[in-house]
């Protein structure tokens, strides 16, 4: 864990490194209200596969600075992520870079690819916040947004993961702030009009039972953004957090098969999964 100066305060970056020289770099962007260490299991899989992983806690999340779970605009997150990218590139020049974004992190990853002006070799979008949720947007029409936290039932079918979500003190369990909902809607609109992925290798994975970021609405946006390099895989009945789902081993295999196909160095590494 290290701290860097972000665009609006300190950003804590978690890091995993393999034994020996890494074969590729993973930049991991977590979702709204959570923090990077919730994806430690995934990061350890990458580490075993020969990747060095950089995973920041976004502004207002985890151990980073900022007001809790305030995402009033996307640009500071993009700027902070660019600093993490530059750090990784400086420390590991020449290695392939894989961008992995979950939920709000998937929106961030999309905007970063569209606007970041920094090349990546492949992108994995896990349940990306690219299609919105009418129930959440409808909260903006209310004079006062009710204090309704995210129900852990929407996270996963795994009851242990549901309880872990509730018990995690680093997760924000409060209500959505109006500024955050407005910021996420604006970021989503920005991504939808920001240009497609073209030939860039992109893997979009999504649970068909996702109640937080509905699959069908995300599919509408992905149809706009997808290019010749885009692949898609959906999982019947799976909910929002695929890396915490009961079929996560299947998800891991799909992700690593994609990375092996699109980063030669990763394919040549010793498979520690």
Residues classed as catalytic: 103, 210, 240
DSSP letter string over 210-228?
A: -SSS-HHHHHHHHHHH--T
Cα–Cα distance, 25 to 37 (Å, whole number): 17
Which residue is it, tokens 């890494």? Answer: 22
Question: Are 48 and 19 a contacting pair, CB within 8 Å?
Answer: no
SS3 69: coil
Give the whole-angstrom CA distance, residue 263 versus residue 265. 5
- What H or E segment, with its residue span, contains residue 188? helix 178-192
DSSP 203: E
Q: Which helix (H) or strand (E) holds 258?
A: helix 248-262
Residue of 265, 264, 234 lying closest to 251 (CA atoms): 234
CA distances from 15 to 3, 28, 64, 152 (A): 11, 10, 14, 27
Structure tokens at 153: 């039932």
């Amino acid at each position: 864990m290290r701290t860097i100066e972000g665009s609006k305060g300190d950003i804590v970056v978690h890091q995993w490194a393999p034994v020996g020289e890494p074969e590729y770099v993973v930049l991991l962007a977590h979702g709204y209200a959570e923090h990077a260490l919730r994806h430690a299991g995934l990061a350890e899989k990458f580490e075993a596969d020969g990747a060095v992983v950089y995973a920041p806690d976004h502004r207002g999340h985890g151990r980073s600075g900022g007001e809790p779970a305030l995402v009033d605009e996307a640009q500071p997150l993009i700027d902070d992520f660019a600093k993490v990218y530059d750090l990784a590139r400086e420390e590991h020049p020449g290695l392939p870079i894989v961008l992995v974004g979950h939920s709000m992190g998937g929106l961030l990853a999309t905007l970063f690819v569209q606007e970041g002006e920094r090349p990546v070799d492949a992108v994995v979008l896990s349940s990306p916040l690219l299609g919105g949720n009418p129930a959440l947007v409808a909260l903006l029409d209310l004079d006062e947004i009710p204090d309704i936290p995210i129900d852990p039932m929407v996270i996963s079918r795994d009851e242990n993961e549901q309880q872990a979500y509730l018990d995690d003190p680093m997760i924000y369990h409060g209500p959505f702030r109006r500024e955050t909902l407005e910021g996420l809607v604006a970021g989503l609109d920005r991504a939808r009009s920001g240009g497609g992925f073209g030939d860039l290798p992109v893997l979009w994975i999504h649970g068909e039972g996702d109640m937080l970021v509905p699959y069908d609405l995300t599919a509408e946006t992905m149809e706009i953004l997808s290019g010749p390099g885009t692949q898609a895989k959906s999982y019947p009945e799976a909910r929002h957090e695929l890396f915490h789902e009961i079929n996560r081993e299947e998800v891991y295999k799909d992700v690593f098969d994609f990375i092996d196909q699109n980063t030669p160095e990763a394919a040549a590494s010793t498979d520690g999964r």
